[in-house]
Chains A and B, each alone.
Chain A
Amino acid sequence: MKPAPFVYHSPDSVGAAVDVLSQVGHDGKVLAGGQSLIPILNMRLASPAHLVDINRVAGLASIDITQNGEVRIGALVRHAELEASEAAYAANPLLRRALQNVAHPAIRNRGTTVGSIAHADAAGEMPAILAITRGVVETAGPAGPAFIEAADFFQGPLETSLAPDEMVVAVTFQPFPPGTGTAFSESARRHGDYALAGVATAVTVSDGVVESVHASFVSVTDVPAVLDLTPIFAGRSVDTMTWDDAIDPVRDFIDPQDDIHATAEYRRMLAAELTRRTLRTATATAVGRPGEAKRAGSTPSHEHPRTSRSVDR
C-alpha cells in the first residue's frame, strides 16, 4: 500500500509554513509525527495533493513549565519526550500516565502530542487530557496567532476549529489545583490498541474531604468532553468513599458506539466501571501517600491485581 503522489514542502519557520498553508492548505495536510496520517496515506484513504512537513520548522520542540505549573509543549514535542520529562511529570503527573497508554514506544518516539490533539480522534488519549486540563491550543495563521480553549477546539469526530491555512504551534496543559490527585485508565483488547473505553480523572481533596471531581473519556464520546462530578461528591469524606455513585452519571454522560470490537452497551458499562476504579486511584494520589504521586507506573498497593487490560498508571 503506497501513498499517492504529493508535492512536498519542508518549511523551516512558522512563517514559511503558514505561507505554504495559505496557498495549499485546502488540498494539503500538515505532516508532523505522521503516525496517524501516514497509515491513512498508505491505504490511500486520503490523497492530499500537498504535504507540508513541519519537522524542520525551528522553535517547535520545547517543553516549558511555567512557575504556576502550566506545561506548554511545542508542535514537534514527541509523545516519548513528554512522557520522559521529569519536569512535566512533576508539574502534572496525569500527562505521563496517559502517554504511557498511547500505542507503543516506537509510535511514541515519532508521534507528537500536539499532532495527536490536532488529529482530534476521540479514541486518542491526549485530546481527553487536553480537555480535562482545560488546555489551550495555540495556532499560527495568516491573521496571526490565536489561542483556543479545548472546548472550542474540538468540534466533532476528527474535526477541529482549525482552518486549512492554520497550524497548531503549541498546546498548554493547565495545572490542577493543589491537593489534586489524578489517574488514567483504559481497557484495550491488546496492549497498545485503541481503547474500548478510557478515562482520566482528577480529584481535589482538602482536609480529607472531596472538593471537586472531574472525568474525561476516551473512545466513548464524539468529542473530548469533561464530566463534572463535583455536585455528587463534594463534601464527602475520602476515607469512607466508595465512588459507586459515579456509575450512573458516567453512563448518562457518554455516547459510545457499536463497532466490531465492542457494543455500545459494553463500552457504557466499561467506561463507568473504569471511572469508578480510577477515581479511587486518583484519590489515593491526592491524599499523598509518600512517594505514591511520584512513582509512575506503579499500582497502589490496595488495588486488586489487574486482569487483562485495565491498566492504572
Chain B
Amino acid sequence: MTETITEPPETLHDITLTVNGIPRPLRVPARRLLSDALRSELGLTGTHVGCEHGVCGSCTILIDGAPMRSCLMFAVSATDYRITTVEGLAEAADARPCSSGQRMNPVQQAFMECHGLQCGFCTPGFLTTITAYLDQNPAPTAEQAREAVSGNLCRCTGYQNIVKSVLRAAEIKAERRAEPHSTGGVDTRTESR
C-alpha cells in the first residue's frame, strides 16, 4: 500500500456578500467562483453556468449595477460590491406585479409579453444585462437593442424576440416613469444596501 498523500485542508475564508440588498455571510475557499457561491452556498440558483469561460453570458449578474460574468470572479473578490442577481430584479422601483401575481421589473415583464425566452437557461443573464443597459440607454433603436444583447448566447430563440423584448421593456419603463407616484409599488431604493 503506497503512502497516501494528505494535504492540509484548503483555507476557508469567512466573507460576507451583499446580494440583492441583503448581507449574506458564507465560508468558502478562495477559489470558489462567485457563480458557484451564489448558487450553492447561497441557494440563489437563478444565475446559471453555461461555459465558465466568460463567453455565453448565462452567469451575468450586476456588480454595483454593472453587468459582469460571475463565472470570472471569485467570491472572495466580491465582498465590497452590491451584487444583484435575477432574483433581485423585482425589487426595482419600477417593478410591478404581473398578471399571475409575481413582481417583475419592466424587462422581465417585456420578456413574458414578447416570448423572449424558451428554455429559460440563458434568460437571467439577458435580464440583468438589459436591465442595466436600459438604465443607461432608455430609448434604443432596434439596431442598438440588437447590439446591446450581442454579448449573450441563446440557442433557443434566435434572438428576434429578445430584441423585441428590449424595445418593449423601454416602453414599459417609460410608461411606469410617467405613472403618478403610486400605491402598489414599494420603492425599495431607500433600504440600505
Q: Which of A51-59, A61-69, A157-165, A267-275 contacts B (4 or more CB under 8 A)?
A: A51-59
When the two chains form their complex, are residues A8 and B76 in contact, meaning their CB atoms are under 8 A apart?
yes
Least CB distance, A124 to chain B, in whole angstroms: 14
**Chain A residues engaging chain B, CB cutoff 8 angstroms:** 1-8, 10, 31, 34-35, 38-39, 41-43, 51, 53, 55-56, 80, 103-107, 109-110, 191-192
**B175 located at the interface, meaning its Cβ lies under 8 Å from any Cβ of chain A in the complex:** no
Add 9 more A-B contacts to A2-B36, A109-B63 (CB < 8 A): A8-B13, A10-B76, A43-B53, A80-B66, A104-B57, A104-B150, A107-B151, A109-B68, A191-B151
- Asked if residues A8 and B30 are in contact (CB atoms below 8 Å), the reply is yes
Which partner residue on chain B sits nearest A84 by CB separation?
B136
30 inter-chain pairs at a CB distance below 8 angstroms, sorted by A residue, are A2-B52, A3-B31, A5-B31, A6-B30, A7-B11, A8-B30, A8-B31, A31-B74, A34-B72, A34-B77, A35-B54, A35-B69, A35-B72, A38-B54, A38-B71, A39-B54, A42-B52, A43-B52, A53-B77, A55-B77, A56-B80, A80-B66, A104-B57, A105-B129, A105-B151, A106-B151, A107-B151, A109-B66, A191-B151, A192-B151
Proximity string of chain B (8-49) to chain A, C-beta cutoff 8 Å, 1 when within and 0 when not: 001101000000000000000111010010000000000000
Docked Cα-Cα span, A34 to B74, in Å, equals 9
Task: For the complex formed, measure the closest distance between the CB of B60 and the CB atoms of chain A, giving whole angstroms.
Answer: 6
Interface SS majority for chain A: loop
CB distance from A290 to the nearest CB of B (A): 24
> Which residue numbers of B lie inside 8 Å of A, CB to CB?
10-11, 13, 29-31, 33, 36, 52-54, 57, 60, 63, 66-69, 71-74, 76-77, 80, 129, 147, 150-151
How distant is the Cα of A2 from the Cα of B35 in the complex, in angstroms?
11
Q: Is the CB of B53 within 8 A of A31?
A: no
Q: For the complex, what is the distance from the CA of A39 to the CA of B67, rounded to whole Å? A: 18
Verify A106–B76 contact, CB threshold 8 A.
no
Cβ contact within 8 Å between A110 and B72: yes
- Determine which of B10, B11, B73, B151 lies in contact with A110 in the assembled complex, contact meaning CB atoms within 8 Å: B73
| Bound CA–CA A150/B52 (angstroms) | 32
Chain B neighbourhood of A35, CB < 8 A? 54, 69, 72
Chain A: minimal CB distance from B76 (Å): 6
Q: Which residue of B lies closest to A41 (CB)?
A: B31
Cα of A170 to Cα of B169 in the assembled complex, Å = 40
Please indicate the chain B residues that have their CB under 8 angstroms from the CB of A31 in the complex. 74, 77
Cα-based distance from A6 to B129 in the complex (angstroms): 31
In Å, the complex CA distance between A56 and B13 comes to 16
Residue of A nearest to B10 (CB): A5
A20, chain B: closest CB distance, angstroms: 14
Give the residues in chain B near A103, CB-CB below 8 Å: 54, 151
3 A-B pairs closest in CB distance? A104-B151, A8-B30, A39-B53
List the B side residues contacting A110 at CB < 8 Å.
Answer: 63, 68-69, 72-73
Chain B min CB distance to A118 (Å): 17
User: A53 and B72 in contact (CB under 8 A), knowing A2-B33, A42-B53?
Assistant: no
Q: Which residue of B lies closest to A1 (CB)?
A: B52
- In this complex, the member of A1, A38, A43, A107 whose beta carbon has the largest number of chain B beta carbons within 10 angstroms is A38
CA distance A307 to B80 in the complex (A): 43
Chain A hits for B53, CB < 8 A? 1, 39, 42-43
Question: With A35-B54, A106-B57, A109-B68 as given contacts, are A4 and B151 in contact (CB-CB < 8 Å)?
Answer: no
Q: Cβ of A42 and Cβ of B76 under 8 Å apart?
A: no
Q: A3 — nearest CB in chain B belongs to which residue?
A: B31
Q: Nearest chain A CB to B62's CB is how many angstroms away?
A: 9
Residue from A2, A10, A38 within 8 A of B72 (CB atoms): A38
CB distance from A50 to the nearest CB of B (A): 10
Residues of A within 8 A of B73 (CB): 34, 38, 110
**CB pair B54 A7 closer than 8 Å:** no
A4/B69 contact (C-beta < 8 A), A42-B52, A106-B57 known: no
**Judging by beta carbons under 8 Å apart, are B69 and A106 in contact?**
yes
